[in-house]
């Protein structure tokens, strides 16, 4: 299972565009789900119908667009590349433009999906424009309620209202407005697909070589950012480990001795004993441990691991009786 995971991770890492595409599609699906679960509630009052309907049609796309821009990884890369000082690496405006256009295209998908679903469903249009319909084309207008025409037309989107109980007027007007709405929706969809197809087909005719370059360098920037973050993480881990070990070893209070090796010292330690000593770091008494834990809280050590990173190691030198060096590890 680790191999499969590794494959998946490698695939995603090599192609950051595919992650962005996936997130884009997920956001579009979320927008459809949001629309279906949203309880559309036309107020059926002349002053507020249009406001409510157009609000429902246009405010969520703005929200989805902003979400799409925020979630996209390329946004961060692009903003950083745009805002950084040149330093030793010159800035390539073509790369920034490419990243911007890629980000825009992806961010615009979910809002377009929302608007299209709204138009194809028709409820918003009916709510907004039922008052603009001329009732002369339809029979069955209820004229015994004492309300004026505008108010009656404004009530058309609301199914439960009692004034439409016995006529087919409401259904006819609804169908009429829905037709308009769906026509507009399909036209917009057709237009978008045509524009997309034409752009796709014509694009290689212009500056294809430069396009390949910009795509490479924008992918490179993304990967470089990821690798930098990764390296920082690894470095922080090593730094922390050495800092803690240095702190432990600094808490020792052994005396300094230099002894020539006597017979009573064991000449060779087992691997286990070496490991044990490694783990103990010289802290071998309860008071030392307590003092160590107290000091860790009271007086945290400074962030400097130079001493342990460049620690001298044990080296063996063989000398003959005259003091000449025969062999040395140094």
Partner 1 sequence: MDKFRMMFQFLQSNQESFMNGICGIMALASAQLYASFEFNCPCMPEYNYTYGIGVLVIPAFWFFLLGFVLNNNVSMLVEEWRRPTGQRGKDPTILRYMFISISQRSLIAPAVWISVTLMDGESFVCAYSVDLDVYQFGNATEHGLSEEELMRMLAKIPCKLIFDGQHIISREAATRYIQCVSQAFGWLFLLLITVIAFLIRAIRPCFTQAAFLKTKYWSHYVDIERKMFDETCTEHAKGFAKVCIQQYFESISGEMRSFHGHLRGDDSDDDDDDDEKHNNDEDKLLGIWAQDDMDKVLWNWHTCKPPLSLRKDGVSDDSNSFVNGNVSMNQHTFVNGDGYPSNTIQKKEWAVYYSKV
166-205 residues in contact with partner 1 (CB under 8 A) are: none
DSSP class of residue 164? Answer: G
Residues 290-329, interacting with partner 1 (CB under 8 A): 293, 296-303, 316-321, 326
Rule CB under 8 A: choose which of 25, 30, 63, 184 binds partner 1: 63
- Asked whether the CA dihedral 133, 134, 135, 139 is positive or negative, the reply is negative
* Candidate ranges 131-139, 158-166, 170-178, 206-214; the one touching partner 1 (CB under 8 A): 158-166
56 is an interface residue for partner 1 by CB under 8 A: yes
**Cβ(330)–Cβ(317) below 8 Å:** yes
Binding-site size, partner 1 (CB under 8 A): 91
Separation of alpha carbons 144 and 137, rounded Å: 19
Rule CB under 8 A: choose which of 11, 22, 26, 59 binds partner 1: 59
Rule CB under 8 A: choose which of 11, 15, 18, 66 binds partner 1: 66
For residues 17 and 161, which CB has a smaller minimum distance to partner 1 in the complex? Answer: 161
C-alpha distance from residue 269 to each of 213, 262, 264, 275 (Å): 60, 15, 13, 10
Separation of alpha carbons 219 and 18, rounded Å: 11
**Two structure tokens written together for 311:** 């620690």
Separation of alpha carbons 268 and 261, rounded Å: 12
- Asked whether the CA dihedral 187, 189, 193, 196 is positive or negative, the reply is positive
* Candidate ranges 40-48, 89-97, 134-142, 190-198; the one touching partner 1 (CB under 8 A): 40-48
CB of residue 4 vs partner 1: minimum separation in angstroms?
12
User: H/E/C letters for each residue in 209-236?
Assistant: HHHHHHHHHHHHHHHHHHHHHHHHHHHH
CB of residue 107 vs partner 1: minimum separation in angstroms?
11
Rule CB under 8 A: choose which of 17, 19, 141, 161 binds partner 1: 161
Nearest to residue 203, comparing CAs of 185, 191, 189, 215?
215
Residues 228-287, interacting with partner 1 (CB under 8 A): 229-230, 232-234, 236-237, 239-241, 243-245, 248, 250, 252-266, 269, 273, 275-276, 279-281, 283-286
CB of residue 261 vs partner 1: minimum separation in angstroms?
4
86 is an interface residue for partner 1 by CB under 8 A: no
């Amino acid at each position: 299972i680790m191999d499969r995971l590794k494959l998946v991770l490698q695939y995603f890492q090599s192609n950051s565009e595919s992650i962005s595409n996936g997130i884009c599609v997920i956001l579009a699906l979320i927008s459809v789900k949001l629309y279906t679960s949203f309880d559309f509630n036309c107020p059926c009052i002349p002053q507020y119908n249009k406001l409510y309907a157009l609000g429902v049609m246009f405010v969520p796309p703005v929200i989805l667009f902003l979400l799409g821009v925020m979630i996209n990884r390329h946004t961060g890369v692009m903003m950083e590349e745009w805002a950084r000082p040149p330093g030793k690496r010159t800035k390539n405006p073509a790369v920034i433009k490419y990243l911007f256009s890629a980000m825009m295209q992806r961010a615009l998908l979910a809002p377009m999906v929302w608007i299209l679903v709204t138009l194809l469903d028709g409820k918003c249009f009916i709510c907004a424009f039922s008052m603009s319909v001329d009732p002369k084309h339809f029979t069955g207008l209820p004229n015994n309620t004492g309300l004026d025409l505008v108010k009656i037309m404004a009530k058309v989107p609301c199914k439960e209202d009692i004034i439409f109980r016995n006529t087919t007027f409401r259904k006819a007007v609804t169908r009429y407005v829905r037709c308009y709405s769906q026509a507009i929706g399909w036209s917009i969809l057709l237009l978008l697909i045509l524009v997309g197809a034409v752009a796709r087909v014509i694009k290689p005719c212009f500056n294809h070589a430069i396009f390949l370059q910009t795509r490479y360098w924008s992918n490179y920037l993304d990967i470089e950012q990821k690798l930098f973050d990764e390296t920082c993480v690894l470095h922080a881990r090593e730094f922390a480990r050495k800092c803690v070990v240095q702190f432990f070893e600094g808490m020792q209070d052994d005396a300094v001795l230099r002894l020539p090796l006597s017979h009573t010292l064991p000449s060779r330690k087992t691997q286990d004993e070496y490991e044990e000593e490694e783990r103990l770091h010289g802290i071998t008494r309860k008071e030392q441990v307590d003092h160590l834990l107290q000091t860790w809280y009271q007086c945290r050590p400074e962030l400097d691991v130079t001493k342990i990173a460049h620690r001298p190691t044990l080296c063996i030198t063989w000398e003959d009786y005259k003091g000449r060096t025969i062999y040395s590890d140094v």
